[in-house]
Amino acid sequence: MVQGLARDFATREILPRAAHLDHTGEFPKDLIQKAADLGLMGMTVPEQYGGAGMDPVSYVIAQEEFARASAGVQAIITVNNSLVCDPIVAFGSESQKRRYLPGLSSGKDLGCYCLTEPSSGSDAMSLRTSARLDGDAWVLNGTKTFVTNGVEATICIVYARSAPDPGAKGISAFIVEKQFPGIRVGKVEKKLGIKCSSTAEIILDSCRAPKENLLGEPGMGGRIALATLDGGRLGIAAQAVGIARAALEDSAAFARERRQFGQTIGEFQAIQWALADMATRIDAARLLMYRAAYLRRQGRPYTKEASMAKLFASEAAMWASHKAVQIHGGYGYIQDYAPERYFRDAKITEIYEGTSEIQRVVISRHVLGAR
């Protein structure tokens, strides 16, 4: 039934605007508010904090439906859910949960996740943003980059080095409100895809965050970041499965209608095999995603499985959307048809929340027993 709601919301509200949002890059504020009104912005947040109290399997099922309609809209929703609400639920104090989760769930606030820096991407634990305790406040200095929802977000999860220890040890996590002094939006990026979600620099210039806005304990930031990314990767796996499914559904419909050489192109074995391979890869990706989400629901470790799901699903989405463009021929290359959007949107799933290369590093460490 949750899937039904997500599908109805996606079909009724997101899909009719997906092409326009992609062409204009407009942030769909009203759509995000409607999603929040239905309980879709704080899906796994416990009910006592204003969330919907949903389990991780239902969560990925719903995210796939949003991404099937628009990967850009889903990116906005999944960042708020996975990368902002999740760490507050898992590591926040009772007062932090009460202060931030109701607003993030109701649409009053929107969250963003500030980990990446210009010189620390895949090597996230080498980040340089600093945090220094000054009386009753943390003073943060540094520049965060590629922050999804960076422009519209009101609540930021910021990672900074609070101790001289190298690597993950010296990193702490902070809940920073955009209204705190010293935080501002820098350069807003122009992107290949997921255009209706903003991607921006967040500049911390002696930003003062109250002492109690430390998330978890000092030095726990690295652990919080990695645990959050496990959940985030499920959201990106769902995004990739949704894009790939859209590519398949459009291609199957096109192959049934498009006639060349006196028959529909779906009657050519070249097209049939492409569709069969798309369908098979999508199902495999979805099952990997369900497995990881199921393990999470059981409270069991799922780092390797989340990486496998994200890796396989994102590469399946890239492959399937490439096939969709080819099946559509010239129509696949123009903006009146959706496959070119799927093709552009799919690429980011191989990059953010850990590139495919990083996923392989994570998986191989588990395989080799070197974690």
Partner 1 sequence: MDTIVCLKQVVDPELPQWDFAIDPATKRQVRMGKPLVISTYDENALELALQLKEKTGGKVTALTLGPQGEVKDAVRLALAMGADEAVVIDDPQSPQRLAADKASVLAAAIKRIGRFDLVLTGCESADWVERAMAPFLAEALGAACVTFISRAESRDGALSVRRTSEEGFQTVDVRLPAVLSVTSDEAIRPRLPKVKDIMAAMRKPVANWTRADLGAEDAGGAKGVEVKDVSIPERTTKVEFLEGEPAEQAEALVARLRALKIL
What residues make contact with partner 1 under the rule CB under 8 A? 1-2, 4-5, 8-9, 12, 37-40, 43, 47, 52-54, 253, 256
Closest contact distance (angstroms) between CB of 102 and partner 1 is 13
Distance, CA of 320 to chain centre = 19
Please list, residue by residue across 259-274, b when 16 or more beta carbons sit within 10 angstroms of its beta carbon and e when fewer do.
Answer: eeeeeebbeeeebeeb
Between CA 299 and CA 94 the distance in angstroms is 21
Q: Give rounded-to-5 percent helix, strand, coil for the chain.
A: 60, 15, 25
Report the candidate in 154, 130, 163, 158 with the shortest Cα–Cα distance to residue 145: 158
Tokens of 45: 């947040």
Closest contact distance (angstroms) between CB of 199 and partner 1 is 28
Task: Indicate the SS3 state at residue 114.
Answer: strand
Which CB, 2 or 175, lies closer to partner 1?
2
Between CA 371 and CA 207 the distance in angstroms is 35
Between CA 214 and CA 158 the distance in angstroms is 10
Q: Enumerate the active-site residues.
A: 353
Distance, CA of 338 to chain centre = 21
Closest contact distance (angstroms) between CB of 150 and partner 1 is 27
Closest contact distance (angstroms) between CB of 351 and partner 1 is 30
Which CB, 35 or 320, lies closer to partner 1?
35
Which CB, 130 or 264, lies closer to partner 1?
264
In sign, the C-alpha dihedral spanning 270, 271, 277, 281 is positive
Closest contact distance (angstroms) between CB of 231 and partner 1 is 18
Between CA 313 and CA 309 the distance in angstroms is 6
Dihedral pair phi/psi, residue 360, rounded to 5° = -65, -35
Which CB, 2 or 215, lies closer to partner 1?
2
Distance, CA of 264 to chain centre = 37
Closest contact distance (angstroms) between CB of 9 and partner 1 is 6
Closest contact distance (angstroms) between CB of 146 and partner 1 is 30
Contact of 85 with 105, CB cutoff 8 Å: yes
Contact of 149 with 112, CB cutoff 8 Å: yes
Between CA 10 and CA 222 the distance in angstroms is 35
Contact of 150 with 200, CB cutoff 8 Å: yes
Between CA 99 and CA 230 the distance in angstroms is 25
